[in-house]
Amino acid sequence: MSHKKELIKFQIDGLTVEAEKGQMLLPAALEYGFEIPHLCYHEAVSPYGACRLCLVEVTKRGRTMMTTSCNYPVDAGLDVATNTENVQRARQMILELLLARAPHSEKIRAMARDAGVEETRFRVIEDADDCILCGLCERVCREVVGANALTFVNRGDRREVAPPFGDPIACIACGACVYVCPTDCIKMKEEGDERTIVRWKRTLKMQPCQSCGKPFAPVFQLNWIIERAQLPKDFYALCPVCRKTKKG
Amino acid sequence: MPLKSPDELEQLRTKILEERKAQGEKKGIVLCTGTGCRGAGASEVFDAFKKALGKKSAIEFKSTCCHGFCERGPITIVEPLGIFYQGVTPADVPQIIAETVTKGQVIEKLLYRDPATGQTIPTEKAIPFYTKQNRLVFGNNRHLDPTRIEDYMAMGGYKALVKALFHMSPEEVIEEIKRSGLRGRGGGGFPAGRKWESCRKAHGDIKYVICNCDEGDPGAYMDRSLMEGNPHSVLEGMLIGAYAIGSSEGYVYVRNEYPLAVENVGIAIEQATKMGLLGKDILGSGFDFSLVINKGGGAFVAGESSALMASIEGYVAEPRAKHIHMTESGLWERPTNLNNVETWANVPVIIEKGADWYASIGTQGSKGTKIFSLVGKINNTGLIEVPMGMTLREIVYDIGGGIPGGKRFKAVQTGGPSGGCIPESLLDLPVDFDELTKAGSMMGSGGMIVMDESTCMVDVAKYFMHFLKDESCGKCTSCRDGTLRMYEVLDAITKGKGKEGDIEFLEEIGWMTAEASLCALGGSAANPVLSTIRYFRDEYEAHISAKRCPAGVCTELITFTIDPKACIACGKCRKGCPTEAITGEKKVPHKIVQAKCIKCGTCREVCPSDAVKVA
């Protein structure tokens, strides 16, 4: 049974646009080509609203408020302004804050430059590791992978993302967090038959391909997938390359 | 046996009242064992009374929770005369029983002495701290043993529930609350009736009501004292609310650091359930309602409604976006109505006495009374309940008894850590939701911290920013890093490292923190900074430009010296100095070796001749 999607009309920067009622504002705006900077939003996971870069001004029933667009459900008759003076002012300062937290991130530097911010007036955080606490790694691990190997720990300025109780026991070293991290602060390395997710201190032995002998994925990860998907025990005997050649 | 009808409830009440009447005007002792009085030693006094009276005493001994005048605890009242004793110790117990209870003689040394007149005041009713108050909600604490539902019944408890269930439709109850003008006492001040109405209209067969007792403001303890002292009034309010909204399940979210509140509300729920006031088919009305206690883990932000619901669901207490109202999608995405302890406790009063009567108290936009916790540099520390619209001056001077030590009033901080500081020039401000907001502060949950001339306002802003940077949930960049950075700038200013432009920089960070953050914590986090800049800009400028702390608080900007003319060379400062920075001998004025001085202020505290100067 499929429900008919209810399309509604509203305005973004003076242009009338259409979107499905209840859809989030940011993806709707991006689809129309509006440029709204964002760091903690990814289409594969639920919106979170942590980085605050995707701020816009929304006028609804005569009331204007600044809000993040990634988690704002669209409704008929909204009037959205993506680049007002207030939005720019707030965004610039947020970028200054992020620069002080992630001084090595080229992506944030570029975003800051685009917004007219060259330098941060804030003290760069000592031993800055570039994590901006956007939570994409935590969400992708929980919602997409299903491994639940990460969580937020502590609050306020002591907040960090870490494996629960400091033990990465649930991490399958799949690397989804590495891929999704916007500041590149989660690194993965492979040495010999071992794969390590550096940030979570997780090192796993990799399984060699029965055909070419090259280690291709952590044994722990493959068994985890086999168990959850109820696959045959020898499902991952071959590496993806050999599997293709064999099939081909 | 559970009561099956309103008549059975009334029969029980009549029975309780008749039993009490039969005993006549019994001699009795009321001891406050609320948290404040316990801190002052009320538990030992309780034991002493128990021991002295024995098991079969003809004297009624009642232990209640907070009466409000915590400064003077432990408080004991001797009935039926209403003699008020303060600062009672176990050693006073035999004398109180032998003289006051038995012979009706007043013990002068235990009476309250009015600092203004120097006269002792024998009865509670005549003490100025109480006379100016209007204790609609909080006043019953003094008459109740919170662990005995009979006490609550004897005072007319659960009458309002009967009225709502049997004589009013849910819509009529909502209309009554709307007309009363009751606004949420937890901080936001949202009209309670409108919230109830939108929750009633929301679609869904399961709806929740929640009582927020996650009071976290430093120095505020009115919700705690209400929950400890009169839990049935909160339950009755929730029952009426649940009936109006169409909810059959509720939660009491109370922080685990309030063990007595947890205990007393637990006892109250158990007693109400046994009597059939909670559970299925309450008093034969067909209305079901049950309550669960949820203990909070202590995060300040858990008091924010959406964070609180996340916490009940088992997640970290982190606020959620509220673009869809909680009344439509709250706890477990079901329509949820959350109110604070004090709001719920107002409900039975309104239903019983009527909206018109209630709305006659207070101001145009804020009706009824408000409980404040009056703390800081004030003579009468405690909990007070006053009609909305009373001026700050009346609160600070008439009820609070003014500033101790003859010092000058400087400011009062209202609204908790993210409230603002209101200066002397606004002392005639009538206190209500809207006036406080206009002045750059807020009502919050009702904290009032009084500050005198020895308080440095930059230091105050720094203190609150330290609290907020620790207690922000840390999700929004704007709040987590905004509060951290404001703290850093303030810290530098108090250490003499302030720069030209810092004030404007703080204003800019503050604006961004308020505008760009998700929840009310971030939205109001800049208030302590912005309100102190607004009213005490000269103090900021003195720190930044002249590297001077006018209040003599910021250690890196002050020096301690001894006035040789005033010094009597007693040696007390020399002995007290932890770093041996003071030189001098008998009959020779003392001196402070600046290189060794750590500016702890001990010398100034111990000096009997006020010879230690700070500049």
Q: How far is CA B468 from CA A155, B332, B412, in A?
A: 11, 28, 19
Residues of A in contact with B476 (CB under 8 A): 49-50, 52
Which pLDDT belongs to residue A3? Answer: 61
C-alpha to C-alpha distance for B306 and B423, rounded to whole angstroms: 33
Q: Which of B599, B557, B552 is nearest to B578 (CA)?
A: B599
**Confidence grade of residue A4 (pLDDT, cut at 50, 70, 90):** low
Return the residue of B nearest to A58 by Cα. Answer: B323
pLDDT in tens, A208-239: 999 999 999 999 999 999 999 999 998 999 99
Query: Quick check: A127 and A102 in contact, CB under 8 A?
Result: no
Give the SS3 label for residue B423. Answer: strand
**Confidence grade of residue A48 (pLDDT, cut at 50, 70, 90):** very high
Nearest to B477 among A94, A121, A154 (CB): A94
Residues of A in contact with B316 (CB under 8 A): 152
Can you say how many angstroms the Cα of residue A226 is from the centroid of all Cα atoms in its chain? 26
Query: Quick check: B413 and B421 in contact, CB under 8 A?
Result: yes
- Which pair of tokens denotes residue B266? 């637990």
- Most B CBs within 10 A among A40, A63, A93, hence the mutation to make, goes to A93
Return the residue of B nearest to A55 by Cα. Answer: B516
Nearest to B509 among A50, A93, A123 (CB): A93
Nearest to A156 among B474, B477, B488 (CB): B474
Contact B474 A157 (CB under 8 A): yes
Which pLDDT belongs to residue A1? Answer: 44
Residues of A in contact with B322 (CB under 8 A): none
- Most B CBs within 10 A among A86, A91, A155, hence the mutation to make, goes to A155
Contact B470 A155 (CB under 8 A): yes
Count of CB pairs separated by less than 8 Å, A with B: 95
Q: Which residues touch A31 (CB under 8 Å, ≥6 apart)?
A: A19
The residue type found at A151 is T
Q: Which residues touch B63 (CB under 8 Å, ≥6 apart)?
A: B30, B31, B32, B33, B46, B145
Q: Which residues touch B97 (CB under 8 Å, ≥6 apart)?
A: B29, B49, B52, B53, B59
Residues B303-330: b if buried by 16+ CB within 10 A, e if exposed: bbbbbbbbbbeeebbbbbbebeebbbbb
> Cα distance from A49 to chain B (closest Cα, Å)?
7
| Under-50 pLDDT residues of chain B | none
Helix residue ranges per DSSP H, A59-180 = 85-101, 106-114, 136-139, 176-180
Q: DSSP state, B399?
A: I
Domain ranges of chain A: 1-129, 136-247
Contact B481 A101 (CB under 8 A): yes
Nearest to B516 among A72, A94, A152 (CB): A94
Please name each of the domains of chain B with its CATH number: 24-128 (3.40.30.10), 149-359 (3.40.50.11540), 369-452 (3.10.20.600), 457-544 (1.20.1440.230), 559-614 (3.30.70.20)
Query: Quick check: B295 and B263 in contact, CB under 8 A?
Result: no
Return the residue of A nearest to B316 by Cα. Answer: A152
**Residue labelled with tokens 């006053």:** B386
Is the domain spanning A1-129 CATH 3.10.20.740? The answer is: yes
Contact B516 A55 (CB under 8 A): yes
Contact A156 B483 (CB under 8 A): yes
C-alpha to C-alpha distance for A29 and A17, rounded to whole angstroms: 8
Residue-wise DSSP of B448-517: EEEEETT--HHHHHHHHHHHHHHHS-S-SHHHHHHHHHHHHHHHHHHTT---TTHHHHHHHHHHHHHHH-
**Residue labelled with tokens 């020096």:** B559
Q: Would you say residue A166 has pLDDT above 80?
A: yes
Residues of A in contact with B508 (CB under 8 A): 93
Average pLDDT on A32-43 reads 96
Q: Would you say residue A134 has pLDDT above 80?
A: yes
The residue type found at A197 is I
Contact A97 B508 (CB under 8 A): no
Residues of B in contact with A90 (CB under 8 A): 478, 512, 515-516
C-alpha to C-alpha distance for B538 and B497, rounded to whole angstroms: 17
Q: Which residues touch A152 (CB under 8 Å, ≥6 apart)?
A: A133, A135, A138, A159, A160, A161, B316, B318, B474
C-alpha to C-alpha distance for B53 and B94, rounded to whole angstroms: 9
Residues of A in contact with B480 (CB under 8 A): 133, 156-157, 159
Nearest to B476 among A52, A100, A154 (CB): A52
Return the residue of A nearest to B505 by Cα. Answer: A121
Q: Which of B305, B317, B263, B272 is nearest to B291 (CA)?
A: B272
Q: Kindly tell me the number of DSSP H helices and DSSP E strands found in chain B.
A: 25, 19
Tell me: cis bond preceding A218? Omega within 30 of 0 counts: no
**Confidence grade of residue A248 (pLDDT, cut at 50, 70, 90):** very low
How large is the C-alpha radius of gyration of chain B? 26
Contact A157 B508 (CB under 8 A): no
Residues of A in contact with B511 (CB under 8 A): 89
